[in-house]
């Protein structure tokens, strides 16, 4: 499946077939593809919680305005972002040195740059978490589409309640839910919503 085909095939499906299950291994395979998403300084601010059991999905539904898709889906990915993600710079850059694609000197500069940029700037941490988490989410949905799964992104949830119900660390924010499963064939897809064309949204060189 090429990228255009995946972009065209991906829809926010209205209903899932509750009899279909997905293994955690299959979710992880798709997660590893989505991990190819770009992030600032390759700091990968995303963290993933998978609501997989019936109990976990019931718990999630209760803090997601009772959206039926949460329990119908085979699993629901809670895409999260870690405000403290920039501290991963040590681990990530160590790997680059071990592979011979970076040097200790370059690594030290990257570490200083990442810590300097984010450590005392909560707004910047939040911006990066939402930017990175959003790019990861789209990559996940396209990779899931290619693997033959349907998805539905959902912003309709209560972040504080999700954090409390699933024991998220204080620095970890839920960003988006992505239900994954097989579309319920008895519930028709809505016609694709109107998209504003390039001629209406693009400004060239100056607004
Ligand atoms: C950030 C975000 C939040 C969304 N929240 C919900 C939601 O809570 N419930 C829902 O049914 N659909 C939700 N959607 C799905 C959108 O309504 C859907 O993507 C949009 O109508 C376009 O349809 P399409 O994805 O099939 O092209 C959300 C989508 C995004 C990207």
**Residue from 13, 135, 154 to probe ligand 1 pocket by mutation (most atoms less than 8 Å from CB):** 154
Query: Which pTM was predicted?
Result: 0.97
Q: Does the beta carbon of 156 sit less than 6 angstroms from any atom of ligand 1?
A: yes
Give all domains of the chain, ordered by start, each with its CATH number.
3-201 (3.40.109.10)
Q: Residue 116: its pLDDT value, please? A: 96
Model confidence pLDDT, tens digit, residues 91-146:
999 998 999 989 999 999 999 999 999 999 999 999 999 999 999 999 999 999 99
Cα of first residue to Cα of last residue in the chain, in angstroms, is: 36
Q: Does the beta carbon of 155 sit less than 6 angstroms from any atom of ligand 1?
A: yes
Lookup: tokens for 50: 């998978």
- pLDDT level of residue 73 (50, 70, 90 thresholds): very high
Instruction: Please give the average per-residue pLDDT across 48-56, as a whole number.
Output: 98
| Distance separating alpha carbons of residues 200 and 159, to the nearest angstrom | 34
Q: Residue 181: its pLDDT value, please? A: 98
Instruction: Please give the average per-residue pLDDT across 31-56, as a whole number.
Output: 97
Distances (CA, A) of 110 to 86, 93, 97: 11, 8, 12
| Per-residue exposure over 64-96, b if at least 16 CB sit within 10 Å of its own CB, e if not | beebebbbbbbbbbbbbbbbebbbbbeebbeee
Closest residue by Cα to residue 161 from 81, 82, 78: 78
- pLDDT level of residue 163 (50, 70, 90 thresholds): very high
- pLDDT level of residue 205 (50, 70, 90 thresholds): very high
Q: Does the beta carbon of 195 sit less than 6 angstroms from any atom of ligand 1?
A: no
Ligand 1 atom 27: residue of nearest CA: 11
């Amino acid at each position: 499946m090429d990228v255009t085909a995946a972009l065209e095939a991906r829809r926010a499906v209205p209903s899932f077939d509750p009899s279909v299950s997905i293994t955690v291994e299959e979710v992880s395979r798709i997660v590893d593809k989505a991990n190819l998403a770009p992030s600032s300084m390759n700091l990968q601010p995303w963290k993933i919680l998978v609501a997989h059991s019936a109990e976990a999905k019931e718990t999630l539904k209760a803090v997601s305005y009772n959206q039926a898709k949460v329990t119908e889906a085979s699993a629901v990915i809670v895409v999260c972002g870690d405000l403290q993600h920039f501290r991963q710079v040590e681990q990530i850059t160590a790997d680059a040195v071990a592979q011979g694609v970076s040097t200790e000197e370059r690594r030290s500069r990257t570490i200083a740059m990442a810590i300097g940029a984010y450590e005392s700037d909560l707004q910047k941490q939040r911006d990066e978490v939402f930017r990175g988490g959003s790019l990861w989410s789209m990559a996940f949905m396209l990779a899931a589409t290619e693997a033959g799964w349907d998805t539905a992104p959902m912003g309709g949830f209560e972040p504080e309640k999700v954090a409390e119900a699933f024991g998220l660390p204080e620095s970890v924010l839920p960003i988006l839910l992505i239900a994954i499963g097989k579309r319920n064939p008895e519930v028709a897809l809505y016609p694709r919503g109107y998209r504003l064309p390039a001629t209406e949204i693009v400004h060239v060189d100056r607004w």
